[in-house]
């Protein structure tokens, strides 16, 4: 009993200290540093996909500090917090980190649709922009309602549209889709449900049958779903999974004999950790590309020179050519370029989230600039504006040949004739429900 009492006293003392420390949050910060909070995950069921992304972001910031001495002399101070892909923990991390540094975090990129949804409610109050590159709310592309959300490079509706365009092209046109059966195997969370609205719209337009099939988190149990697929014999299966769910889906597809070349994953279901565990079963599997694929690009030379040769890289060198690592680099680069853009207006000093928001909204990256940054072949030029927070809507399809990803298509662009009315309607509904004021984008410079 003595032990128990001591433990209790100890717990009380620690808790008291905890309360005291959290309430006195005035730490001295280096005054000329831009603070960046990283909501990432290196643990939990989604760690195999979270780790390379986190490494990519961390390495890009480190590269900016090592090679350029920061952005125009403003060093980047990056801090990670592990969210484990859990929404409540992600919000806790956000609250913990958002006000650190001289000006608070420049932006957040939570790499989770659930956390993005939760932070969407907080962003206008805290004045911190969210870069949800290739994920998040599809209607948040409409900057007149979602002032603080930036689903750069593409939303889920864009992804679904690109995949459908590719399938239509293979079949010989959208009119040939009539009577086809398309199944969506999705992660049963806001992430997985996002594309359903667009696919239903497309199904109505072209007369194919569309069946969504949910898989519960974390997605290791899919036997029933794939049994249904075997019975239904759909023409195509779309996959909206994340983490271990992806490789499980591909393995199950192999087990029931569904042709993998008729499977199309979203860009979050198209990386090395998704296909490698399925070994030969993954051969022929396709996935959309969030602009970039895998491989070594010009920026890797700098990474090698400034980080990996000195042993400062956060990944292994072989992993730096993988899809999700490069996606982390791209996310870091877009963030850095946004800060750089904001500095042209607000000066070369640490900037607040509100100032960086202006930078993201006015971000324009030309082909020449992409080459300069060492990202040639990784992404296409993009231009963000008040009415278009996506920047670009282009994507390609890649295929796994058992060893590496091969690009098998031309560039597609999601069809704004279909998407734009949907985005406008969904954004308006959100604004009405929350009684939000809508910005007039024609008046924004």
Q: Interface with other proteins by CB under 8 A: which residues?
A: 1, 3-5, 7-8, 14-15, 18-19, 21-23, 25, 40, 42-43, 47, 51, 54, 80-82, 84, 87-88, 91-92, 95-96, 99, 113-114, 117-118, 120-122, 125, 137-139, 188-191, 193-194, 196-197, 214, 217, 426, 430, 433-436
- Beta strand 181-187 pairing with 236-240: parallel
Q: Tell me whether residue 91 or residue 365 sits nearer to other proteins (CB atom).
A: 91
Cα-based distances in Å from 241 to 134, 191, 195, 269: 14, 9, 12, 6
Q: Which is nearer to other proteins, 9 or 408 (CB)?
A: 9
* Nearest distance, CB of residue 205 and other proteins, angstroms: 17
Say which residue the tokens 């917090």 belong to: 81
Q: Based on CB atoms, which residue is closest to other proteins, 42 or 349? A: 42
CB of 147 to other proteins, least distance (A): 15
Q: Which helix (H) or strand (E) holds 391?
A: none
Contact 400, 154 (CB under 8 A): no
Burial (CB count <10 Å: 0-12, 13-18, 19+), residue 344: exposed
Nearer to other proteins, 47 or 333 (CB): 47
Q: How far is the CB of 117 from other proteins (least distance, A)?
A: 5
Q: Which spans in 141-243 are helix H? A: 156-171, 190-193, 196-206, 223-232
* Min dist. Cβ of residue 189 to other proteins (A): 6
For other proteins, which is the closer residue by CB, 75 or 217? 217
Closer CB to other proteins, 1 or 172, in the complex: 1
Q: In this complex, which beta carbon is closest to other proteins, that of residue 92 or of residue 261?
A: 92
Nearest approach in angstroms of CB 197 to other proteins is 4
Residue whose C-alpha is closest to residue 270's, from 253, 291, 296: 291
Strands (E), 122-280: 130-131, 149-150, 181-187, 209-215, 236-240, 263-265
Smallest CA-to-CA distance from 148 within 113, 108, 110 is with 108
Distance of closest approach, residue 73 Cβ to other proteins, in angstroms: 26
Which residue, among 292, 285, 295, has the nearest Cα to 319 in the 3D structure?
295
Q: For the CB of residue 52, give the shortest distance to other proteins in the complex, in Å.
A: 13
Distance separating alpha carbons of residues 414 and 267, to the nearest angstrom = 14
> C-alpha angle with apex 116: 112 to 118, nearest 5 degrees?
120
- Residue 187 CB, shortest distance to other proteins, in Å, is 10
> Phi and psi at residue 285, in whole multiples of 5°?
-70, 140
Give 298 or 424: the residue with its C-beta nearer to other proteins.
Answer: 424
Q: Are 29 and 102 in contact (CB under 8 A)?
A: yes
Structure tokens at 120: 């969407």
In angstroms, the first-to-last Cα distance of the chain is 70
Least spacing, CB of residue 422 vs other proteins, in Å: 9
Query: What number of other Cβ atoms are within 10 A of residue 342's Cβ?
Result: 24
Q: How far is the CB of 282 from other proteins (least distance, A)?
A: 26
For other proteins, the closer of residues 34 and 83 by Cβ is: 83
1 vs 28, beta carbon nearer other proteins: 1
């Amino acid at each position: 009993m003595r032990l128990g009492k001591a433990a209790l006293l100890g717990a009380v003392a620690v808790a008291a200290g905890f309360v005291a420390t959290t309430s006195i949050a005035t730490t001295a910060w280096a005054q000329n540093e831009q603070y960046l909070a990283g909501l990432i995950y290196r643990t939990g069921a989604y760690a195999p996909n979270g780790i390379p992304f986190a490494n990519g972001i961390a390495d890009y910031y480190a590269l900016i500090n090592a090679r350029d001495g920061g952005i125009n002399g403003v060093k980047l101070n990056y801090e990670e917090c592990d969210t484990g892909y859990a929404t409540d923990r992600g919000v806790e991390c956000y609250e913990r980190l958002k006000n650190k540094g001289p000006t608070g975090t420049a932006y957040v990129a939570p790499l989770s649709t659930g956390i993005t949804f939760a932070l969407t409610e907080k962003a206008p109050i805290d004045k911190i922009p969210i870069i949800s590159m290739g994920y998040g709310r599809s209607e948040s592309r409409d900057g007149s309602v979602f002032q603080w959300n930036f689903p750069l490079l593409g939303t889920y509706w864009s992804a679904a549209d690109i995949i459908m365009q590719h399938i239509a092209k293979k079949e010989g046109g959208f009119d040939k889709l009539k009577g086809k059966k398309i199944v969506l195997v999705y992660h049963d969370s806001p992430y997985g449900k996002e594309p359903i609205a667009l696919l239903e719209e497309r199904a109505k337009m072209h007369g194919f049958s569309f069946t969504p099939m949910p898989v519960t988190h974390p997605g290791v149990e899919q036997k029933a779903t794939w049994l249904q697929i075997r019975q239904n014999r759909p023409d195509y299966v779309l996959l909206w999974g994340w983490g271990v769910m992806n490789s499980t889906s591909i393995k199950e597809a192999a087990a029931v004999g569904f042709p993998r070349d008729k499977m199309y994953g979203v860009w979050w279901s198209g990386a090395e950790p998704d296909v490698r565990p399925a070994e030969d079963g993954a051969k022929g599997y396709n996935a959309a590309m969030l602009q970039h694929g895998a491989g070594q690009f010009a920026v890797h030379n700098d990474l090698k020179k400034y980080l990996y040769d000195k042993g400062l890289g956060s990944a292994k060198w072989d992993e730096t050519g993988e899809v999700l690592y490069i996606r982390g680099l791209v996310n870091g680069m877009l963030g850095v370029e946004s800060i750089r853009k904001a500095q042209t207006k607000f000066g070369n000093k640490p900037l607040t989230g509100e100032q960086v928001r202006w930078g993201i909204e006015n971000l324009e990256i030309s082909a020449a600039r992409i080459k300069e940054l060492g990202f040639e072949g990784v992404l296409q030029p993009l231009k963000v504006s008040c009415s278009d927070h996506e920047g670009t809507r282009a994507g390609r399809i890649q295929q796994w040949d058992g060893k590496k990803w091969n690009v098998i298509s031309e560039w597609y662009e999601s069809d704004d004739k279909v998407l734009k009315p949907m985005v406008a309607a969904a954004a308006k509904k959100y604004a009405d429900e929350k009684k939000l004021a809508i910005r007039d984008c024609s008046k924004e410079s």
